[in-house]
Each structure stands twice: as C-alpha cells, then as structure tokens.
C-alpha cells in the first residue's frame, strides 16, 4: 500500500515521504495512529505543505541542535494542573502537556514523541524529562509541576 507519512516513523521515513508498506502494517499501525494518510493524487498536493511545515520546525544541523539543547536546559518549564490532597494530581502530566509547556515558555516546537518521562508524572514538584533532538543530541529538561491557582 502506498502512503504519505504525516510524521517521522523510525526505520521508515520522515514527514512528507511517500512510502510503500504492507497492507496490514498500514491498516493496523500507521493509519489508526495518524502517522500516515493514504496516497492519492489529491494527497500528492499535501506533500509540499507537509514538507514546508517540517522545514520550518526542523533542526538544521548539529550546531542548531546544540543551541536548542542549551535553550531547553536553561529554560524553566512549568506545568499547572489540578491537584488533590497531598499534591497528587487528577490524572497525570503527559508528554503532550510537556510539549505544550515547552512551546509556551521557549517557543520551540518539540514533537511529543521525542519526549521521554520516567513513568507517569502524578505528583507536584520537579521532574527530569529527556528530550531527544536530531543529530543524536538529547537534552535533560527540568519540568516543574505546580498546583493550578
């Protein structure tokens, strides 16, 4: 089956690439998770838009990756959430929440799939989060979880 990738898939390609995969892999993995759309002539026109968006967010080279790493490690990332007694959260802080907080505080658009937490964040306080950047650069970011005022 011929598909257009909408985000990077490890071992397969990057956003905007046209790939051919087995039908089961496409139906059961790529399409339901939103990692790809079916290829068509109309979809071919979307490729250029996907590639332009990727280029604007993309980290160009290793020097740029190191600049982003320094920016992330120097920033204060704060996530405000509803809490109950003893500082326990209603739910948990997800990678999506951390990505939104990074975008709000630094302006960097980080893909939530490149953020790794050490389990679920279910308490207020400071937590270390690893952000994998291109060119084998990773940043250790401190996320401060605070009670919603």
The structural domains of the chain, with segments of one domain joined by +, span 2-57, 62-147
* pLDDT for residue 46 is more than 80: no
Percent of the chain clearing pLDDT 90 (strictly above): 36
The pair of structure tokens assigned to 116 is 């790794």
Least confident piece of the model among 60-64, 90-94, 115-119, 125-129: 60-64
Question: C-alpha distances in angstroms, 144 versus 70, 79, 81?
Answer: 18, 6, 11
Could you tell me if 21 and 12 are in contact, meaning their C-beta atoms sit under 8 angstroms apart? yes
Could you tell me if 98 and 115 are in contact, meaning their C-beta atoms sit under 8 angstroms apart? yes
* pLDDT for residue 12 is more than 80: yes
| Fold entry, domain 62-147 | Ribosomal Protein L9; domain 2 (3.10.430)
Name 146's bridge partners: 80
CATH tag for 2-57 (out of 3.40.50.300, 3.30.420.40, 1.10.3720.10, 3.40.5.10):
3.40.5.10
* pLDDT for residue 57 is more than 70: no
Of residues 53 and 95, more confidence is placed in 95
- Judged by DSSP in three states, 78 sits in strand
Residue partners of 116: CB distance under 8 A and separation at least 6: 95, 129, 130, 131, 132
Q: How far apart are CA 72 and CA 67, in angstroms?
A: 9
Prediction pTM value: 0.66
């Amino acid at each position: 089956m011929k598909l257009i990738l909408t985000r990077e898939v490890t071992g397969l390609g990057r956003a905007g690439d046209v790939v051919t995969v087995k039908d089961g892999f496409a139906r059961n993995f790529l399409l339901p998770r939103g990692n790809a759309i079916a290829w068509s002539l109309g979809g071919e026109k979307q490729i250029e838009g996907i590639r332009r968006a990727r280029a604007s967010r993309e980290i160009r080279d290793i020097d740029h990756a190191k600049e982003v790493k320094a920016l992330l490690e120097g920033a204060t990332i704060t996530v405000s959430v509803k809490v109950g007694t003893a500082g326990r959260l209603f739910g948990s802080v997800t990678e999506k929440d951390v990505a939104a907080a990074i975008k709000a505080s630094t302006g960097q658009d980080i893909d939530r799939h490149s953020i790794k937490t050490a389990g679920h964040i279910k308490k207020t306080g400071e937590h270390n989060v690893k952000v994998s950047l291109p060119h084998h650069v990773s940043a250790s970011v401190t996320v401060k979880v605070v009670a919603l005022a």
